[in-house]
Amino acid sequence: MTAQNGNILEAVQVRKEFGGLIAVNDIDFVIPRGSIVSLIGPNGAGKTTFFNTITGVYKPTAGAVFFEDKEIAGLPPHQVTGLGMARTFQNIRLFHNMTALENVLVAMHGHIKGGIVRSIFRTPGLKREEAEAQERGRELLEFSGLRRKDDEYAKNLSYGDQRRLEVARALATEPKLLLLDEPTAGMNPDETATFTAFVAKLREDQNMTVLLIEHDMKVVMGISDRVTVLDYGEKIAEGAPLEVQHDARVIEAYLGTGATG
């Protein structure tokens, strides 16, 4: 179904400790190019920490992360984003007092030349660049299901729209790999279905690679090519959605010991 030319991301023995707590315990993890990979696990399993470790928010205690064969562990987040990796936040972190369009424009930072002197004199080149960026931003908002919301302050958007804006903003960085941290949390079933179709479309149309952290099993099982299960910071299962669903350790992690017996 997808053109699999290698792995876009490889994490090798990644470990993250906070004092004595091992939040991520020597995890090996790969994301094949063009695939949708899900990361699941009970609350506190270390999913978001793992996510933060590969996006540069945290520096891993040990191990290495390669994005397109380039070592990225320890790089500051803006450089990781610049390489082509963009993320959304589990607890929505929009720029609340900026409009939807401005949110998206901020995310184009790395792709707009700008320049202090050019901005002060507003040269023809800069004006053209700004107009293009705005047009691209509007298109992106429309594509993400935020038609005519361009000039709304982010905080005035409905919850579902805020989630959509998170994704639109991440897409504005022109990523090759999109990391979504519980994107459907708090959405109703209709919104969730629309969103799932949107992610599938992203992959179809733009050959986007997606890493998804998700609690909603219907979403995970519906669109993932591979599923990785974490528990207490360790990888306990990995494989196709159906395999993972029937894995004894996974059922145990979710439902407790004895559930399989």
Partner 1 sequence: MSTRAARIRTPGLGSETTRKWALPAVVIALIVAYPLLIENVSFLDSLFVGRLGIDMDTAFQMATYTMLALGLNIVVGYAGLLDLGYVAFFALGAYTLGWFGSSLFAGQNIHFLDVGNKAIPGIHLSFWVVVPLAGLICAIAGIIIGWPTLRLRGDYLAIVTLGFGEIIPDVFRNGDSIGGHNLTNGVRGVTQLDRPGFGESLNSATGGFLPDRYSSLPDELKPWYYTILIMCLITIFVNLRLRDSKMGRAWIAVREDEIAASAMGVPLMRTKLWAYAIGGVFGGLAGSIYGSFINGIFPTSFSFQISVIVLVMVIVGGMGNVWGVIVGASLISWLNFTGLGKLGSLLNDAIPGTTHDVEITKYKYGLFGFLLIMMMVFRPEGLIPSARRKAEFKEGDEAYLYDVSTE
Interface residues with partner 1 (CB under 8 A) are 55, 57, 76-79, 81-82, 86-87, 89, 93-98, 102, 105-107, 109-110, 112, 114, 116, 119-122, 131, 134-135, 138, 153, 155-156, 158, 169-170, 172-173
**Residue 108 carries which DSSP code?**
T
State how far the Cα of 98 lies from the Cα of 184, in Å rounded to an integer: 23
Residue 74 contacts by C-beta under 8 Å, 6 or more apart in sequence?
56, 59, 60
State how far the Cα of 116 lies from the Cα of 113, in Å rounded to an integer: 10
CB of 108: closest distance to partner 1 in angstroms?
8
Half-sphere exposure of residue 151, counting CA atoms within 13 Å on the CB side? 0
CB of 107: closest distance to partner 1 in angstroms?
4
CB of 66: closest distance to partner 1 in angstroms?
20
CB of 206: closest distance to partner 1 in angstroms?
18
Q: Which residue number, 6 or 114, has a Cβ lying nearer to partner 1? A: 114
CB of 25: closest distance to partner 1 in angstroms?
25
Q: Which residue number, 89 or 232, has a Cβ lying nearer to partner 1? A: 89
Q: Which residue number, 87 or 176, has a Cβ lying nearer to partner 1? A: 87
Q: Which residue number, 165 or 227, has a Cβ lying nearer to partner 1? A: 165
CB of 133: closest distance to partner 1 in angstroms?
8
Q: Which residue number, 101 or 244, has a Cβ lying nearer to partner 1? A: 101
**What backbone phi and psi angles, to 5 degrees, belong to 243?**
-60, -50
Q: Which residue number, 73 or 237, has a Cβ lying nearer to partner 1? A: 73
State how far the Cα of 215 lies from the Cα of 182, in Å rounded to an integer: 7
CB of 77: closest distance to partner 1 in angstroms?
4
State how far the Cα of 79 lies from the Cα of 21, in Å rounded to an integer: 28
- 4: tokens are 């699999």
State how far the Cα of 99 lies from the Cα of 105, in Å rounded to an integer: 10
- Termini Cα distance of the chain: 37
Please state, in angstroms and as integers, the Cα–Cα distance from residue 57 to each residue in 27, 42, 255, 257, following that order.
Answer: 17, 22, 31, 34
Question: Given the structure tokens 């320049």, which residue do they identify?
Answer: 115
**Residue 234 carries which DSSP code?**
E
Q: Which residue number, 7 or 55, has a Cβ lying nearer to partner 1? A: 55
